[in-house]
Amino acid sequence: MNPLAAIPAYFDMARVRPGKRPARAAWDGGKYDDAFDAQVKSKGGDPSKVQIQHEYNEPESIHKGMRDIVMGDSKYGSNEVSSAYPDQDRIRINPNADEAFLAHELGHVASKQAGIGKLVRDLRDNPALAKALGQASLGAPLALAALIPGDDDLAPALAASYLAASPELLDEAFATQNALAMMNRAGSRATLGQRGKLAGAYLSYLGAPLAAGLGGQIAGNFADDEVTALLGYGQ
């Protein structure tokens, strides 16, 4: 896994000029309206109950856009429930970005309407659970590494970290799955390049659990070594 694979996705999300298949043209032209409704129905949801607002955000420059994204600003590609209108979903998108990112955000909204997708999103959006899982993603790998003798504990440490991050990772995976399905339904099958951008964006979510797992494993092994030395084992 190479975190640098996310960079092309970031560049596209920070576009200052439209690409070949920009989000604005897809949204304004209603390209995904029918495809979205069909996807929601396929998940057991009712599209007539879904209301979506959109917010266009264009970066002043690609450098400013890239800096915003790296610093965690989600205004070029995100979805959330509007605080002013709790019954509506709001999609924030750079209108110049590839329409695949718009489809991905629509995929989030489709996923949360019913079934396992709704359960995963509810778990992801639960503040208390999010805090607990964030702490677990750091604490579990450390504890496992400290408890497992020797240094052969990287796999369990990473597994613990990714398990703690699973609601976020699953929600992102479901959104991309829905996006690809909607693009097919709309007669605009994702190109290899678009699939690569979506995959690269997904890698950005895999990076944090990887870092937490590695960090916890290193710290845990240090604690394991210190306890071993203190007790006089291995001498």
In this prediction, residue 173 carries a pLDDT of: 86
The model's pLDDT over 164-205, given as tens digits with 9 standing for 90+, comes to 557 788 888 889 999 999 999 999 999 999 999 998 887 777
Residue 135 CA to residue 184 CA, distance in Å, equals 39
Task: Name the pLDDT band for 13 (thresholds 50, 70, 90).
Answer: very high
- Give me the residue label for tokens 């613990």: 160
Pairing assessment for the beta strands 89-93 and 77-81 based on DSSP bridges: antiparallel
Tokens in use for 98?
């590839």
In this prediction, residue 32 carries a pLDDT of: 97
Residue 187 CA to residue 191 CA, distance in Å, equals 12
Q: Say how many C-beta atoms besides its own lie within 10 A of residue 17's C-beta.
A: 8
Residue 160 CA to residue 47 CA, distance in Å, equals 36
The model's pLDDT over 125-153, given as tens digits with 9 standing for 90+, comes to 876 655 555 544 444 444 433 334 444 44
Q: Tell me the CA end-to-end span of the chain in Å, nearest whole number.
A: 38
- Helical segments of 29-153, H only: 33-42, 62-70, 99-111, 115-124, 127-147
Provide the whole-model pTM: 0.74
Q: Is it the case that residue 77 has pLDDT exceeding 50?
A: yes
C-alpha separations of 183 from 68, 91, 116 in Å: 28, 17, 22
Give kind and range of the element (H or E) at residue 89: strand 89-93
Least confident of 14-28, 55-69, 98-112, 119-133: 119-133
* ∠ Cα 206 207 213 (to 5°): 95
For residue 106, the one-letter residue type is: L
Residue 37 CA to residue 32 CA, distance in Å, equals 8
Give kind and range of the element (H or E) at residue 209: helix 192-231
